[in-house]
């Protein structure tokens, strides 16, 4: 199954929604390596934790299979599911570690799930400000690439611009966003990567 062949993928999702195990296997074999590369850096290169996240993602995919034909961008949906599953796993492990270790020795060592959500939302808000600081054209190219998951060629066709111009504008947009985050306390680039799968972290 080729990612660029949306007709084949739509057919596979329809078959999967009807409980077709062969369609599920095809989708799993195609997306599992991509999800592994996406999640692996966040688990600090833990193969076991990465595989646990991916396994949970595909279990949920199977249980929600009847809703799949209505999804317009399946790849984006799947990567967002993997991101959320990773975050959920981290929260569960923090809760477990807190339960078995007793109360923290210092008040500032306590990190509740609510606190984690607040911190993540604050970082996400700053990341949004970084993107909003881009010029209108650069912001549009950035969002088409990392939010809409368009290729450079698709961006060129959508905006009617030259390929060299699109690549240069995207490069400058990424550089500007990274500089913005670093100047504001060195905020983690990984958080932006979680929000926009495919964002270069190096």
CA distance 131 to 192: 10
pLDDT in tens, 87-106: 888 887 665 444 434 434 44
Max CA separation in the chain (angstroms): 60
pLDDT band at 137 (very low <50, low <70, confident <90, very high): very high
Hey, what domains does the chain have and what are their CATH numbers?
A: 1-111 (1.10.1740.10), 114-202 (1.10.10.10)
| CB count in 10 Å sphere of residue 197 | 19
Identify whether the C-beta of residue 83 lies closer than 8 Å to the C-beta of residue 197: yes
| CB count in 10 Å sphere of residue 79 | 22
What DSSP character marks residue 197? T
Identify whether the C-beta of residue 81 lies closer than 8 Å to the C-beta of residue 61: yes
Upper half-sphere CA count for residue 191 (Cβ side, 13 Å):
20
| CB count in 10 Å sphere of residue 6 | 12
Structure tokens at 105: 């020795």
Residue 15 clears pLDDT 80, i.e. is over it: yes
pTM passes above 0.95: no
């Amino acid at each position: 199954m080729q990612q660029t062949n949306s007709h084949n993928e739509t057919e596979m999702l329809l078959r999967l929604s009807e409980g077709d195990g062969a369609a599920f296997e095809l989708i799993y074999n195609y997306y599992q390596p991509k999800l592994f590369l996406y999640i692996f850096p966040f688990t600090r290169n833990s193969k076991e934790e990465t595989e646990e996240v991916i396994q949970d993602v595909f279990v949920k995919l199977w249980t929600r299979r009847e809703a799949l034909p209505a999804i317009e961008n399946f790849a984006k949906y799947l990567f967002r599911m993997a991101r959320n599953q990773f975050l959920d796993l981290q929260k569960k492990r923090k809760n477990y570690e807190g339960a078995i270790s007793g109360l923290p020795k210092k008040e500032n060592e306590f990190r509740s799930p609510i606190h984690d959500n607040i911190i993540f939302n604050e970082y996400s808000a700053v990341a949004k400000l970084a993107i909003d600081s881009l010029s209108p054209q650069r912001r549009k190219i950035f969002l088409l690439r990392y939010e809409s998951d368009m290729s450079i060629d698709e961006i060129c066709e959508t905006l009617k611009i030259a390929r060299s111009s699109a690549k240069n504008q995207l490069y400058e947009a990424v550089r500007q966003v990274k500089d913005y985050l670093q100047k504001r306390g060195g905020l983690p680039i990984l958080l932006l990567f979680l929000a926009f799968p495919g964002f270069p972290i190096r």
